[in-house]
Protein backbone atom coordinates (compact mmCIF):
# COMPACT_ATOMS: atom_id res chain seq x y z
CA UNK A 1 0.00 0.00 0.00
CA UNK A 2 1.36 3.45 -0.99
CA UNK A 3 1.84 5.92 1.87
CA UNK A 4 1.58 9.69 1.72
CA UNK A 5 2.57 12.32 4.28
CA UNK A 6 0.58 15.58 4.33
CA UNK A 7 1.76 18.62 6.26
CA UNK A 8 -1.04 21.06 7.13
CA UNK A 9 -3.58 18.22 7.42
CA UNK A 10 -5.65 20.21 9.93
CA UNK A 11 -6.07 23.16 7.53
CA UNK A 12 -8.61 23.58 4.74
CA UNK A 13 -6.90 21.64 1.94
CA UNK A 14 -5.34 18.86 4.02
CA UNK A 15 -8.59 16.99 4.79
CA UNK A 16 -9.81 17.20 1.16
CA UNK A 17 -6.48 15.83 -0.06
CA UNK A 18 -6.45 13.15 2.66
CA UNK A 19 -9.95 12.03 1.64
CA UNK A 20 -8.93 11.85 -2.02
CA UNK A 21 -5.83 9.77 -1.19
CA UNK A 22 -7.80 7.46 1.15
CA UNK A 23 -10.31 6.88 -1.65
CA UNK A 24 -7.40 5.92 -3.90
CA UNK A 25 -6.18 3.35 -1.36
CA UNK A 26 -3.27 5.27 0.21
CA UNK A 27 -2.25 5.00 3.83
CA UNK A 28 -2.37 8.68 4.90
CA UNK A 29 -0.19 10.29 7.57
CA UNK A 30 -0.45 13.91 8.66
CA UNK A 31 2.17 16.09 10.32
CA UNK A 32 0.46 18.05 13.09
CA UNK A 33 1.96 20.88 15.10
CA UNK A 34 1.32 20.71 18.85
CA UNK A 35 -1.53 22.99 19.94
CA UNK A 36 -3.05 23.33 23.42
CA UNK A 37 -6.44 22.34 21.98
CA UNK A 38 -6.78 19.64 19.28
CA UNK A 39 -7.72 21.10 15.93
CA UNK A 40 -9.33 18.25 14.03
CA UNK A 41 -12.84 19.65 13.36
CA UNK A 42 -12.19 19.71 9.60
CA UNK A 43 -11.11 16.05 9.52
CA UNK A 44 -14.33 15.32 11.44
CA UNK A 45 -16.40 17.39 8.99
CA UNK A 46 -15.23 15.11 6.16
CA UNK A 47 -15.63 11.99 8.34
CA UNK A 48 -11.98 10.91 8.18
CA UNK A 49 -10.62 11.76 11.64
CA UNK A 50 -10.14 8.07 12.46
CA UNK A 51 -8.78 7.12 9.04
CA UNK A 52 -5.56 9.16 9.04
CA UNK A 53 -2.54 8.73 11.30
CA UNK A 54 -1.27 11.94 12.86
CA UNK A 55 2.40 12.46 13.69
CA UNK A 56 3.52 15.32 15.89
CA UNK A 57 5.95 17.73 14.25
CA UNK A 58 6.52 21.30 13.15
CA UNK A 59 7.71 22.74 9.85
CA UNK A 60 10.24 24.87 11.70
CA UNK A 61 11.77 21.78 13.36
CA UNK A 62 13.79 19.79 10.81
CA UNK A 63 14.37 16.86 13.17
CA UNK A 64 10.63 16.35 13.65
CA UNK A 65 10.07 16.27 9.88
CA UNK A 66 12.83 13.70 9.43
CA UNK A 67 11.23 11.56 12.14
CA UNK A 68 7.81 11.89 10.47
CA UNK A 69 9.25 10.78 7.13
CA UNK A 70 11.02 7.81 8.71
CA UNK A 71 7.83 6.79 10.49
CA UNK A 72 5.51 7.14 7.50
CA UNK A 73 7.91 5.95 4.77
CA UNK A 74 5.92 7.91 2.16
CA UNK A 75 5.99 7.59 -1.61
CA UNK A 76 4.62 11.15 -1.75
CA UNK A 77 4.94 14.18 0.52
CA UNK A 78 2.47 17.06 0.15
CA UNK A 79 3.69 20.21 1.89
CA UNK A 80 0.49 22.17 2.59
CA UNK A 81 1.50 23.55 6.00
CA UNK A 82 2.05 27.29 6.25
CA UNK A 83 1.07 30.50 8.01
CA UNK A 84 -1.32 31.19 5.13
CA UNK A 85 -3.29 34.30 6.12
CA UNK A 86 -1.91 37.24 4.14
CA UNK A 87 -2.99 39.94 6.64
CA UNK A 88 -1.21 38.14 9.50
CA UNK A 89 2.01 38.05 7.49
CA UNK A 90 2.52 41.77 8.24
CA UNK A 91 1.85 41.20 11.95
CA UNK A 92 4.18 38.17 12.14
CA UNK A 93 6.54 38.44 9.15
CA UNK A 94 9.39 36.48 10.71
CA UNK A 95 7.21 33.59 11.82
CA UNK A 96 5.65 33.60 8.33
CA UNK A 97 9.11 33.46 6.71
CA UNK A 98 10.10 30.61 9.02
CA UNK A 99 7.04 28.37 8.49
CA UNK A 100 5.89 29.39 4.99
CA UNK A 101 9.38 29.92 3.53
CA UNK A 102 12.11 28.08 5.44
CA UNK A 103 9.57 25.34 6.27
CA UNK A 104 9.67 24.34 2.59
CA UNK A 105 13.45 24.06 2.73
CA UNK A 106 13.19 21.95 5.89
CA UNK A 107 10.90 19.46 4.11
CA UNK A 108 13.16 19.38 1.05
CA UNK A 109 16.20 18.79 3.27
CA UNK A 110 14.39 16.07 5.22
CA UNK A 111 13.65 14.27 1.94
CA UNK A 112 17.22 14.75 0.73
CA UNK A 113 18.55 13.27 3.99
CA UNK A 114 16.18 10.29 4.04
CA UNK A 115 14.97 9.15 0.60
CA UNK A 116 15.50 11.08 -2.63
CA UNK A 117 12.95 8.91 -4.45
CA UNK A 118 10.04 10.53 -2.53
CA UNK A 119 7.81 12.63 -4.78
CA UNK A 120 7.23 16.13 -3.40
CA UNK A 121 4.36 18.60 -3.87
CA UNK A 122 4.78 22.22 -2.74
CA UNK A 123 1.68 24.36 -2.19
CA UNK A 124 2.43 27.69 -3.88
CA UNK A 125 0.21 30.60 -4.59
CA UNK A 126 -1.09 33.25 -6.95
CA UNK A 127 -0.02 35.74 -4.23
CA UNK A 128 3.44 35.45 -5.83
CA UNK A 129 2.05 37.36 -8.85
CA UNK A 130 1.02 40.18 -6.48
CA UNK A 131 1.34 43.39 -8.45
CA UNK A 132 0.43 41.59 -11.63
CA UNK A 133 2.77 41.91 -14.60
CA UNK A 134 0.29 40.35 -17.08
CA UNK A 135 -3.49 40.63 -17.06
CA UNK A 136 -3.89 36.83 -17.11
CA UNK A 137 -1.28 34.97 -15.09
CA UNK A 138 0.34 31.72 -16.22
CA UNK A 139 3.47 29.71 -15.31
CA UNK A 140 5.48 32.15 -17.45
CA UNK A 141 4.25 35.39 -15.81
CA UNK A 142 6.97 37.24 -13.82
CA UNK A 143 6.41 37.38 -10.05
CA UNK A 144 5.98 40.52 -7.91
CA UNK A 145 4.88 39.48 -4.39
CA UNK A 146 3.18 42.15 -2.27
CA UNK A 147 3.21 40.66 1.25
CA UNK A 148 5.68 38.87 3.55
CA UNK A 149 3.54 35.79 2.84
CA UNK A 150 4.01 36.13 -0.94
CA UNK A 151 7.74 36.73 -0.55
CA UNK A 152 8.06 33.66 1.69
CA UNK A 153 6.23 31.48 -0.84
CA UNK A 154 8.51 32.72 -3.61
CA UNK A 155 11.51 31.52 -1.57
CA UNK A 156 9.79 28.12 -1.34
CA UNK A 157 9.15 28.14 -5.07
CA UNK A 158 12.79 28.70 -6.01
CA UNK A 159 13.99 26.19 -3.41
CA UNK A 160 11.67 23.57 -4.90
CA UNK A 161 13.04 24.28 -8.38
CA UNK A 162 16.61 24.27 -7.08
CA UNK A 163 16.25 20.88 -5.34
CA UNK A 164 14.63 19.46 -8.48
CA UNK A 165 17.57 20.64 -10.57
CA UNK A 166 20.35 19.97 -8.02
CA UNK A 167 19.33 16.52 -6.82
CA UNK A 168 16.98 15.29 -9.59
CA UNK A 169 14.16 15.26 -7.04
CA UNK A 170 10.62 14.73 -8.30
CA UNK A 171 9.50 18.09 -6.90
CA UNK A 172 6.43 19.97 -8.21
CA UNK A 173 5.05 23.41 -7.46
CA UNK A 174 1.32 24.01 -7.67
CA UNK A 175 0.67 27.72 -8.16
CA UNK A 176 -2.88 27.68 -6.85
CA UNK A 177 -5.29 30.58 -7.06
CA UNK A 178 -7.75 31.17 -4.20
CA UNK A 179 -9.82 28.14 -3.35
CA UNK A 180 -12.53 27.93 -0.75
CA UNK A 181 -14.97 25.48 0.83
CA UNK A 182 -17.32 25.07 3.80
CA UNK A 183 -14.22 24.32 5.94
CA UNK A 184 -12.36 27.50 4.95
CA UNK A 185 -10.83 29.44 7.86
CA UNK A 186 -13.21 32.09 9.21
CA UNK A 187 -10.72 34.95 8.66
CA UNK A 188 -10.65 34.56 4.86
CA UNK A 189 -13.11 36.80 3.07
CA UNK A 190 -15.43 34.19 1.51
CA UNK A 191 -16.04 32.38 4.77
CA UNK A 192 -16.25 35.63 6.73
CA UNK A 193 -19.05 36.64 4.36
CA UNK A 194 -20.91 33.30 4.32
CA UNK A 195 -20.77 33.05 8.12
CA UNK A 196 -22.09 36.63 8.41
CA UNK A 197 -24.88 35.91 5.92
CA UNK A 198 -26.00 32.94 8.02
CA UNK A 199 -25.88 34.98 11.25
CA UNK A 200 -27.74 37.94 9.72
CA UNK A 201 -30.40 35.65 8.25
CA UNK A 202 -30.89 33.97 11.63
CA UNK A 203 -31.02 37.29 13.52
CA UNK A 204 -27.67 36.84 15.32
CA UNK A 205 -25.73 39.66 13.62
CA UNK A 206 -26.79 42.92 12.01
CA UNK A 207 -23.86 44.07 9.87
CA UNK A 208 -20.80 42.84 7.98
CA UNK A 209 -17.57 44.88 8.13
CA UNK A 210 -15.16 44.42 5.23
CA UNK A 211 -12.13 46.20 3.73
CA UNK A 212 -11.40 46.48 0.00
CA UNK A 213 -14.47 45.05 -1.72
CA UNK A 214 -13.19 46.02 -5.19
CA UNK A 215 -10.37 43.44 -4.99
CA UNK A 216 -10.79 40.72 -7.60
CA UNK A 217 -10.00 37.06 -7.10
CA UNK A 218 -10.11 33.88 -9.20
CA UNK A 219 -11.99 31.64 -6.74
CA UNK A 220 -12.40 27.87 -7.05
CA UNK A 221 -13.43 24.93 -4.85
CA UNK A 222 -10.75 23.31 -2.67
CA UNK A 223 -12.16 19.83 -3.36
CA UNK A 224 -11.46 20.31 -7.08
CA UNK A 225 -7.98 21.74 -6.51
CA UNK A 226 -6.60 18.83 -4.46
CA UNK A 227 -7.13 16.58 -7.51
CA UNK A 228 -4.64 18.73 -9.41
CA UNK A 229 -2.09 18.29 -6.59
CA UNK A 230 -2.33 14.50 -6.82
CA UNK A 231 -2.23 14.51 -10.63
CA UNK A 232 1.03 16.53 -10.61
CA UNK A 233 2.77 13.74 -8.69
CA UNK A 234 1.51 11.03 -11.09
CA UNK A 235 3.22 12.46 -14.20
CA UNK A 236 6.40 11.10 -15.76
CA UNK A 237 8.28 14.39 -15.16
CA UNK A 238 8.05 16.94 -12.33
CA UNK A 239 6.83 20.39 -13.33
CA UNK A 240 5.06 23.56 -12.11
CA UNK A 241 1.39 24.26 -12.79
CA UNK A 242 -1.06 27.12 -12.39
CA UNK A 243 -4.39 25.89 -10.97
CA UNK A 244 -7.25 28.37 -11.42
CA UNK A 245 -10.73 28.72 -12.91
CA UNK A 246 -9.99 31.45 -15.48
CA UNK A 247 -12.77 33.67 -14.11
CA UNK A 248 -12.32 36.63 -11.78
CA UNK A 249 -14.91 38.39 -9.60
CA UNK A 250 -14.86 41.18 -7.03
CA UNK A 251 -15.40 40.69 -3.31
CA UNK A 252 -18.55 42.75 -3.90
CA UNK A 253 -19.81 40.22 -6.52
CA UNK A 254 -19.14 37.39 -4.11
CA UNK A 255 -21.11 39.18 -1.36
CA UNK A 256 -24.01 39.66 -3.72
CA UNK A 257 -24.13 35.93 -4.53
CA UNK A 258 -24.00 35.00 -0.83
CA UNK A 259 -26.71 37.44 0.35
CA UNK A 260 -29.01 36.77 -2.61
CA UNK A 261 -28.94 33.06 -1.80
CA UNK A 262 -30.95 33.85 1.36
CA UNK A 263 -32.99 36.61 -0.32
CA UNK A 264 -31.11 39.52 1.31
CA UNK A 265 -29.58 42.67 -0.24
CA UNK A 266 -25.89 42.95 0.74
CA UNK A 267 -25.97 46.75 0.44
CA UNK A 268 -28.22 46.95 3.51
CA UNK A 269 -25.67 45.20 5.76
CA UNK A 270 -22.21 45.98 4.41
CA UNK A 271 -20.01 48.49 6.29
CA UNK A 272 -16.59 49.44 4.92
CA UNK A 273 -14.00 49.38 7.69
CA UNK A 274 -10.47 50.63 6.98
CA UNK A 275 -9.17 48.24 9.63
CA UNK A 276 -9.41 45.49 7.02
CA UNK A 277 -7.35 47.30 4.37
CA UNK A 278 -3.85 45.91 3.81
CA UNK A 279 -0.57 47.88 3.68
CA UNK A 280 -0.16 46.72 0.07
CA UNK A 281 -3.01 45.07 -1.79
CA UNK A 282 -3.17 42.50 -4.56
CA UNK A 283 -5.91 44.20 -6.55
CA UNK A 284 -6.66 41.52 -9.13
CA UNK A 285 -5.83 37.89 -9.83
CA UNK A 286 -6.91 35.89 -12.85
CA UNK A 287 -5.25 32.59 -13.70
CA UNK A 288 -4.76 30.70 -16.94
CA UNK A 289 -5.13 26.97 -16.19
CA UNK A 290 -4.41 25.87 -19.80
CA UNK A 291 -1.26 23.90 -18.95
CA UNK A 292 -3.00 21.97 -16.14
CA UNK A 293 -5.82 21.15 -18.55
CA UNK A 294 -3.50 20.05 -21.36
CA UNK A 295 -0.92 18.08 -19.33
CA UNK A 296 -2.93 16.87 -16.32
CA UNK A 297 -6.39 16.71 -17.89
CA UNK A 298 -7.54 18.85 -14.93
CA UNK A 299 -10.51 21.20 -15.17
CA UNK A 300 -12.42 22.93 -12.34
CA UNK A 301 -15.90 21.46 -11.81
CA UNK A 302 -17.51 23.92 -9.41
CA UNK A 303 -18.77 27.41 -10.33
CA UNK A 304 -18.38 30.41 -8.00
CA UNK A 305 -22.16 30.46 -7.50
CA UNK A 306 -22.28 26.75 -6.50
CA UNK A 307 -19.29 27.21 -4.21
CA UNK A 308 -20.62 30.25 -2.33
CA UNK A 309 -24.12 28.81 -1.99
CA UNK A 310 -22.70 25.57 -0.52
CA UNK A 311 -20.70 27.64 1.98
CA UNK A 312 -23.76 29.67 3.00
CA UNK A 313 -25.78 26.46 3.44
CA UNK A 314 -23.07 24.91 5.60
CA UNK A 315 -22.87 28.06 7.75
CA UNK A 316 -26.65 28.20 8.14
CA UNK A 317 -26.60 24.61 9.42
CA UNK A 318 -23.69 25.39 11.79
CA UNK A 319 -25.15 28.61 13.20
CA UNK A 320 -28.57 26.94 13.76
CA UNK A 321 -26.86 24.33 15.95
CA UNK A 322 -25.05 26.88 18.19
Residues assigned a catalytic role: 125, 127, 149
Of the residues 40, 88, 205, 212, which one makes contact with ligand GDD according to CB under 6 A = 212
To the nearest whole angstrom, how small is the minimum distance from the Cβ of residue 292 to ligand NAP?
14
Is residue 178 part of the contact set for ligand GDD (CB under 6 A)?
Answer: yes
Rounded to a whole number of angstroms, the CA Rg of the chain reads 19
**65 CB contacts (<8 Å, ≥6 apart)?**
7, 31, 57, 59, 106, 107, 110
Give the x/- contact pattern for ligand GDD in 55-94, rule: CB under 6 A.
-----------------------------x-x--------
Query: Which of 67, 16, 313 has its CA nearest to residue 194?
Result: 313
- The entry of ligand NAP, ligand GDD, none near residue 245 (CB within 5 to 8 angstroms by kind) is none
DSSP 211-233: S-TT-EE--EEHHHHHHHHHHHT
Packing angle between helix 189-201 and helix 304-321, nearest 10 degrees?
A: 50
- By CB under 6 A, tell whether 269 contacts ligand GDD: no
Judged by the rule CB under 6 A, the positions of this chain that interact with ligand NAP are: 7-8, 10-14, 31, 33, 35, 39, 58-60, 80-84, 99, 123, 125, 176, 178-179, 185
Instruction: Report the alpha-carbon distance of residue 235 to residue 310 in Å, rounded.
Output: 32
Give whichever of 67 and 278 is closer to ligand GDD, judged by the CB atom: 278
Burial group, residue 237, by CB count within 10 angstroms (0-12, 13-18, 19+): exposed
For 19, phi then psi, to 5°, come to: -65, -40
User: Cβ distance 190 to 12 under 8 Å?
Assistant: no
71: enclosing H helix or E strand = helix 62-72
Instruction: Residue 198: name its binding partner from ligand NAP, ligand GDD, none (Cβ under 5 to 8 Å by kind).
Output: none
Contact track, ligand GDD, 121-160, x by CB under 6 A: ----xxx---------------------------------
**Shortest-Cβ-distance residue relative to ligand NAP:** 11
Q: Note the residues at the interface with ligand GDD (CB under 6 A).
A: 84, 86, 125-127, 177-178, 187-189, 192, 210-213, 215, 217, 251, 276, 278, 281-282, 285
Amino acid sequence: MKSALITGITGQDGPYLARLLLDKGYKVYGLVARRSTPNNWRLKFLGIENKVELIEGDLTDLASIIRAIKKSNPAEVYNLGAQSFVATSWEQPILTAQSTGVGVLNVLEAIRLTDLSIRFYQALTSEMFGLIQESIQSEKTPFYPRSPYGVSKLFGHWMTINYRESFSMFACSGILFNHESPIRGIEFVTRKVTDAVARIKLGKQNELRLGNIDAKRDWGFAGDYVEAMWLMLQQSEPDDYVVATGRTATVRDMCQIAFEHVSLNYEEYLVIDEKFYRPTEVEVLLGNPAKAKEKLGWVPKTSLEELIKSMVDADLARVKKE
